[in-house]
């Protein structure tokens, strides 16, 4: 399997997970079970869907759209992301979503940070309490573009304006490192171990906030989840780990699914989409990490075809641009320490 196949797998895996989780996002696990049984197919957003009402089956959400926005900025900036340019791009994206009639807008951490930036606060301060999963959900392109010591600095640069906390950076670093390792051909246990190491390093960056640390929760969940059967896994994650937008719940939930179901992409994404809570983000993170490991050829072809068609996605140029960055000094683009 080629590096390009793995890079495309990360991008399309993210999109498939995002679209699969779209109709179930913000619903309870019990409500999802009542409506759909398990979410093992691409479904439309119901008229009463709180965030994505009446969205066609297979539609991607903010997870994929913001990831592709970040990818474009990385390629245009030769691996660098200017925080003010990123803030402007996120604001323009939200205005476009409003014009399209979507309720899937900027998350609470990002919205608050951009308001602070507009009010004149320095970028290093605007994300001082960003502890949600917004940085982690969109960080996969950083993992494709970086393979060396510059990975953590690049993650921080993508986090600083909105999620400049140990929790926000640690969660994003975990996802980026797992994707980077997968694109590089590592096996899944090695990729998850890399995620844990990156979360430890990332958790020491940014502003301190209270909350269970990403690396420690990730280390714990790997051992805990291995003791569960697949049937026990979904209710246990819902009830013990949590599925909210908090980074130290939803990102950890994604890695629990990867730990137990990582050999079966469809099973992992189905479980993620059926969990309740922030299903689109949990499934998107699962899809990005597993897509990087299994490659685009290892993704469910029926889901891939539908998501590509519905969203008119052609990510070849995006993957190639990110891999060109990765090839530059091993993915280290003269990055500065922030």
pLDDT tens digits, the chain, 338 residues: what are they? 899 999 999 999 999 999 999 999 999 999 999 999 999 999 999 999 998 899 999 999 999 999 999 999 999 999 999 888 888 888 887 778 777 666 666 778 888 888 888 888 888 888 999 999 999 999 999 999 999 889 999 999 999 999 999 999 999 999 999 999 999 999 999 999 999 999 999 999 999 999 999 999 999 999 999 999 988 999 999 999 999 999 999 999 999 999 999 999 999 999 999 999 999 999 999 999 999 999 999 999 999 999 999 999 999 999 999 999 999 855 555 444 44
- Give the CB-side neighbour count of residue 222, counting CA atoms within 13 A: 15
pLDDT score recorded for residue 104: 62
What residues are paired with 154 via a beta bridge? none
Residue 50 to residue 235: CA distance in whole angstroms? 22
CA 334 – CA 23 distance, rounded (Å)? 42
Residues in the chain: 338
From CA 336, how far away is CA 37, in angstroms rounded?
Answer: 49
Residue 246, φ and ψ in degrees, nearest 5: -60, 130
Query: Is 96 marked as binding a ligand?
Result: no
Determine whether the annotation assigns residue 131 to a binding site.
no
d(CA 302, CA 10): 17
Q: Is 120 exposed, middle or buried (0-12, 13-18, 19+ CB in 10 A)?
A: exposed
Q: Read off the tokens for 98.
A: 């409003």
Q: Cα 195–201–203 angle (5° rounding)?
A: 95
Domains and CATH numbers, the chain: 3-331 (1.10.4080.10)
User: What is the Cα–Cα distance from 173 to 168, expressed in whole angstroms?
Assistant: 9
pLDDT at 337: 42
User: What is the C-alpha separation between 326 and 144, in angstroms, rounded?
Assistant: 7
Backbone angles phi, psi at 132, to 5 degrees: -85, -175
The answer to whether 197 is annotated as binding is: no
Distance CA 211, CA 130 (A): 12
Are 303 and 17 within 8 A, CB to CB?
A: no
101 to each of 55, 58, 74, 94, 180, how far by Cα in Å? 10, 17, 28, 11, 35
Q: List beta partners, residue 289.
A: none
What's the pLDDT at 218?
A: 97
Q: Which residues pair with 132 in a beta bridge?
A: 246
Give the separation between CA 161 and CA 87, rounded to whole angstroms: 7
How many angstroms separate the CA atoms of 184 and 293, rounded? 9
- Show the DSSP H helices in the chain as ranges: 3-21, 29-36, 62-76, 83-99, 108-118, 123-126, 134-137, 140-145, 151-159, 166-183, 188-202, 214-226, 230-236, 247-261, 265-273, 279-294, 301-311, 316-326
Would the annotation count 40 as a binding residue?
no
pLDDT at position 106 is: 72
Strand partners, 165: 207
């Amino acid at each position: 399997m080629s590096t390009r196949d793995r890079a495309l797998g990360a991008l399309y895996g993210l999109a498939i997970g995002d679209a699969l989780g779209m109709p179930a996002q913000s619903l309870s696990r019990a409500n999802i079970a009542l409506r759909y049984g398990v979410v093992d197919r691409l479904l439309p957003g119901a008229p009463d869907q709180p965030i994505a009402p009446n969205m066609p089956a297979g539609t991607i959400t903010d997870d994929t759209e913001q990831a592709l926005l970040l990818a474009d900025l990385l390629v245009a900036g030769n691996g660098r992301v200017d925080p003010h340019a990123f803030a402007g791009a996120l604001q323009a994206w939200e205005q476009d979503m409003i014009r399209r009639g979507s309720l899937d807008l900027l998350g609470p951490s990002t919205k608050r940070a951009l308001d602070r930036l507009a009010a004149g606060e320095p970028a290093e301060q605007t994300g001082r309490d960003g502890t949600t999963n917004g940085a982690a959900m969109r960080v996969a392109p950083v993992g494709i573009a970086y393979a060396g010591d510059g990975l953590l600095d690049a993650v921080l640069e993508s986090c600083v304006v909105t999620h400049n906390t140990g929790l926000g950076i640690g969660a994003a670093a975990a996802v980026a490192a797992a994707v980077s390792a997968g694109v590089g051909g590592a096996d899944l246990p090695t990729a998850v171990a890399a995620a844990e190491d990156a979360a430890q390093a990332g958790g020491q960056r940014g502003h301190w906030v209270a909350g269970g640390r990403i690396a420690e929760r990730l280390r714990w969940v790997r051992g805990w989840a291995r003791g569960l059967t697949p049937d026990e896994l979904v209710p246990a994650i819902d009830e013990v780990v949590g599925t909210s937008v908090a980074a130290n719940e939803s990102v950890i939930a994604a890695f629990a699914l990867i730990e137990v179901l990582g050999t079966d992409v469809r099973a992992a994404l189905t479980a993620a989409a059926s969990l309740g809570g922030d299903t689109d983000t949990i499934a998107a993170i699962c899809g990005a990490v597993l897509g990087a490991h299994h490659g685009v050829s290892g993704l469910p072809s029926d889901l891939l075809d539908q998501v590509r068609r519905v969203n008119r996605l052609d990510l070849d140029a995006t993957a190639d641009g990110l891999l060109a960055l990765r090839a530059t000094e091993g993915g280290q683009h003269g990055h500065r320490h922030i």
